[in-house]
Amino acid sequence: KAGVTQTPRYLIKTRGQQVTLSCSPISGHRSVSWYQQTPGQGLQFLFEYFSETQRNKGNFPGRFSGRQFSNSRSEMNVSTLELGDSALYLCASSLGRVETQYFGPGTRLLVL
Amino acid sequence: AQSVTQPDIHITVSEGASLELRCNYSYGATPYLFWYVQSPGQGLQLLLKYFSGDTLVQGIKGFEAEFKRSQSSFNLRKPSVHWSDAAEYFCAVGAENTGNQFYFGTGTSLTVIP
């Protein structure tokens, strides 16, 4: 089976812009979670989608949003980018609730 | 509040030596525990997991971990380290009441000396 894929792998944006990241889960997986990884804060949970519904949300501002499509693919959007949003954004997929999460390679976002 | 502590920020070992990476968690519910490894510029790869049952779990690449409820620990071990094991290691915890919202430790960076 193909693993979790994320596009794009690298992205450079400027402050105030918005960005959309994409994640395709492992075939058959219905849960997609997003994490932000930074040197200072480590890995922090953003949100989880299951069957097109947001099931859980971390402590991030409303500028961070996401959605999931009927084929389980997920997108994450960040509006009004700030310098502090520079990070590696990781997507993870799993079969269901409290299952093993399999991570994609990440999208590295740089905000200038 | 849930938390995961990896006390060692960085560890250096010689190739062929044994390895133990520490992980302590604070969790109100029955925890599900994981160890992941991350190579530079890459995503996280699952090494092993504990959900229930035997408290000594075997993983990939010769790694094992032992769940000790009394000590709230889930330490990762390998009897003989290979140079390719150099990477960042993360301990993570989840629980039934938080679904797939995993809490991660800050990671331990492993350097292997030839």
Q: What angle do CA B95, B101, B104 make, to 5 degrees?
A: 90
pLDDT at B18 > cutoff 90? yes
Q: What is the pLDDT of residue B29?
A: 72
Reading phi first (left if > 0) and then psi (alpha if -120 to 50, else beta), residue A71 is in: alpha
Q: Report pLDDT for B46.
A: 94
A10 with A98: CB under 8 angstroms? no
Nearest-angstrom CA–CA distance, A74 and B108 = 30
Among B41, B96, B104, the residue with its CB nearest the CB of A43 is: B104
Quick: pLDDT tens for A52-102: 999 889 999 999 999 999 999 999 999 999 999 999 999 999 988 777 899
Distance CA A76, CA A10 (A): 15
How close does chain A come to B87, measured CA to CA in Å? 15
Read off the DSSP letter of residue A73: -
Distances from the Cα of A97 to the Cα of A27, A64, A79, A112, B100, angstroms: 16, 22, 29, 37, 6
- Interface probe for A, chosen from B35, B100, B102, B104 (most Cβ of A below 10 Å), is B100
CA distances from A4 to A61, A102, B11, B47 (A): 26, 7, 30, 16
DSSP β-ladder status, B19-21 and B44-50: unpaired
> Do A103 and B104 count as a contact with CB atoms less than 8 A apart?
no
CB-nearest partner of B106 from A42, A98, A104: A42
Please write the tens of the pLDDT for every residue from B70-104: 999 999 999 999 999 999 999 999 877 777 788 99
How many whole angstroms separate alpha carbon B55 and alpha carbon A28? 29
pLDDT the model gives residue A19: 98
CB A103 within 8 A of CB A3: no
Chain position carrying tokens 């800050």: B106
Residue B50 tokens, joined: 């504990």
The dihedral through the CA atoms of A102, A104, B59, B100 has a sign that is negative
SS3 call for A63: coil
3-class DSSP state for residue B69?
Answer: helix
Pull the structure tokens for residue A38. Answer: 């930074």
Quick one: pLDDT band at residue A2, thresholds 50, 70, 90?
confident
Summarised one tens digit per residue, pLDDT across range B47-76 is: 999 998 899 999 999 999 999 999 999 999
Structure confidence at residue B86 (pLDDT): 97
